[in-house]
Amino acid sequence: MNDPDRSAQAANRLADVGVRSMTAASPRQVGAMCDAEEPSLLVVEGSLAPEPGLELVRWLRRGGVSCPVLFMCGSKVEAASLKELHELRPFVACQVVDAAVVEYFLGYADASLETPPPRGNLEDVGLDALFIHALRTHWTGRLELVCQGTSKTIFFDQGAPVYCSSNILSENFGQILLRRGVISEVEYEWARKLQLREGIRQGEALVKIGILSHEDLFGYLREQIREKMVNAFGWPTASYGMDEGAHHLHNITRFRFNALEVVFDGQQRFIHRGDVQELWDEYRGSWGVLTSDSPQVVRALIQVFGIERLETLQQPQSVLRLALDQGWDKARALSVFTTLHANHVVHLARHPTALPVAISLERFTPDLPNEAQVDHGEQEGQEPDPQVIEMSEALWKAYLRITSADHFDALGIERGAGAFEIQAARDELLSTYSPMAFDPLLEQSQMIRAIQGIRTKVSNAATTLADPQARAAYMEALRESEESDRASQFLRAEDEFLAGMSKLPERAEEALPHFEVASQLNALEPVYTMYHGWARFMSATSLEHKYEGEALITRALETNPLLDNGYVFLARILMDTGRGEEAARFAEQALSFNPENVAARDIVDQWGDVARSSSSVSGRC
């Protein structure tokens, strides 16, 4: 830098923030100084300086010098002209070199090199910093928070928070709906018992018993997940752990949220109300400029500010004017601007002249060769395909709607539909929900379960309605169910079922009447029928009673062929009559639906070899 006055100005500003400076008279001298020790900041003249400042920086970048660069420019036009020169990054171009700009720029340069430790405390890092770090780096994995015995786990998919689990009772899905008056105490208890018995989620239970539609469930689930994330910002002293990897996202329903909006909501919810006015008085006169050009951060900011206003933020803007234009109150404006400033997304200053005219802080990465840019399928860190997200949400909604509907609504036919309409509806739905139609989702076990659930429901509905006797029985049960007080009746049926379960296996004769009542109160529930049959067999005093029990279990499996315990019960009945080979085949079928079924595994271990040997001999004959 040849201008002594400007050199002195730069040295003074650096000294103001405690940084030692050295002056170089030529590019060669700069290179020698960088060989000795890479500087924390390089200050050069702007693009119109007599010395070739731009060429010097390009030369240093090619030589591996990556420190931030501060260009001292003589005008706004000169500074703005540097904005698109990405090979210079990270850099800041200023018309006036202000100590606050230097300090902020150096602080960003240090922070940009830091990665939050995988384990730590939010007092040291801040949940907002972890969210924004995940967004900047397209991070995928889970963030576990623990505070005074309670815990939450927030799941991220390529930088976006997508799900949150919690062991806090008040954040339970049913509890939230209770507080909002969406469901009653009776409906909550009914769904809770169904959830415990069938191992399904509370929302699925509410849909299955007809309390919520699938559209309502999807909306309330999204609200609940977001609420749990926002509430996590009330844990400033929690410990955290970050575990990277896409495998953590298996078996969860993914909702994509804007990471910045979640952070702003959390910061606003837990801001100390008594401090709002004082803090706002401090910030309202500030000016801000966008400092981050990370693509992920910019996309999230567009949803917050809108693309036109975000473009204006690339030049100094009044914080007060931005807040008024967005319609934000004081608490919202504070949560937005303090968070963005603390995380080096927006730089704030008391006066626009103290802000850089152009700033580009993301480190420059040279483009890959063309052959390396060819898309060979989804790669780690790639932006999620919106069509895949839309497909998974549509499939999950269809699963909730179809599996919770009666047979006619599941097939989409009128109650007077004949055999032709039934078969046509069945074929169309099985084709629509073929696994091949959802190939991009087949790595997600929950989506596979949804496809299987839909196809099973459709097949069972068509089979029942195509058989005149089965259809008549189903119509009668459906009519009786609709005419009764369903909530009260089904809740009583569940109580009877649980009473019967408490007496098995030792007191099967005492359990039998409970299962009989449960089956009568809710004839549409195959689990009640299955246990009714098992209790009948276990307490049988005659061969006729044993056959009756076997028939009830078989009927339950015809209604729902996924009941793995039903196959175990039939296997035990066959073993009781000396048909071990057939028993093993039923047990293997149970294991195909539930590999964790211990009883089925024991039967296979005992009789499986015999069954396979017999099958092999039969094949040779």
DSSP-derived secondary structure for 169-195: GGGSHHHHHHHHTSS-HHHHHHHHHHH
Q: What are phi and psi of 317, to 5 degrees?
A: -130, 150
Please state, as a whole number, how many other Cβ atoms lie within 10 Å of the Cβ of residue 541. 8
506: buried, middle or exposed (CB in 10 Å: 19+, 13-18, 0-12)?
exposed
Report in angstroms the alpha-carbon separations of 497 from 174, 201, 551. Answer: 22, 19, 19
Return the CATH number of 386-466, one of 2.60.120, 1.10.287, 2.60.40, 1.10.8.
1.10.287
Q: Using CA atoms, how far apart are residues 406 and 337, in angstroms rounded to an integer?
A: 52
Helix and strand element counts for the chain (H, E):
28, 12
| Domain regions of the chain by residue span | 4-112, 119-181+213-261, 272-354, 386-466, 564-621
Provide the pLDDT for residue 366.
40
pLDDT in tens, 515-568: 999 988 888 788 899 999 999 999 998 888 899 999 999 988 887 777 888 999
Provide the pLDDT for residue 373.
31
Q: Output the CA torsion sign for 297, 298, 299, 303.
A: positive
| Rama region for 383: left / alpha / beta (φ>0; ψ in -120 to 50; rest) | beta
Q: What are phi and psi of 348, to 5 degrees?
A: -110, 145
Provide the pLDDT for residue 40.
74
Name every residue whose Cβ is closer than 8 Å to that of residue 454 and which is 6 or more positions away in sequence: 398, 399, 402, 403, 429, 433
Provide the pLDDT for residue 153.
95
| Residues with pLDDT less than 50, the chain | 1, 50-51, 112-113, 364-382, 484, 611-612, 614-621
- Give the chain's largest Cα–Cα span: 111
Q: Using CA atoms, how far apart are residues 42 and 63, in angstroms rounded to an integer?
A: 14
Helix, strand, coil percent values for the chain (each to nearest 5): 60, 10, 30
Q: What is the CA radius of gyration of the chain?
A: 33
337: buried, middle or exposed (CB in 10 Å: 19+, 13-18, 0-12)?
buried
> Both tokens of residue 325?
């234009």
Peptide bond into 526 cis (omega under 30): no
**Residue among 22, 85, 81 at smallest CA distance from 57:** 85
Provide the pLDDT for residue 46.
56
User: Per-residue b/e over 235-260, b at no fewer than 16 CB within 10 Å?
Assistant: beebebebeeeeebbeebbbbbbbbb
Enumerate the β-bridge partners of residue 290: 346
Domain 4-112 has CATH 3.40.50.2300: yes
Enumerate the β-bridge partners of residue 144: 153, 241
Name every residue whose Cβ is closer than 8 Å to that of residue 595 and which is 6 or more positions away in sequence: none
In the three-class reduction of DSSP (H, G, I as helix; E, B as strand; rest coil), residue 68 is classed as coil
Name every residue whose Cβ is closer than 8 Å to that of residue 491 and which is 6 or more positions away in sequence: 186, 189, 190, 193
Name every residue whose Cβ is closer than 8 Å to that of residue 45 and which is 6 or more positions away in sequence: 1, 2, 3, 6, 51, 53, 71, 72
Q: How many CA atoms lie within 13 A of 130 on its CB side?
A: 32
561: buried, middle or exposed (CB in 10 Å: 19+, 13-18, 0-12)?
middle
> Both tokens of residue 530?
């299955």
Report in angstroms the alpha-carbon separations of 120 from 130, 139, 164, 168, 239. Answer: 11, 17, 19, 22, 6
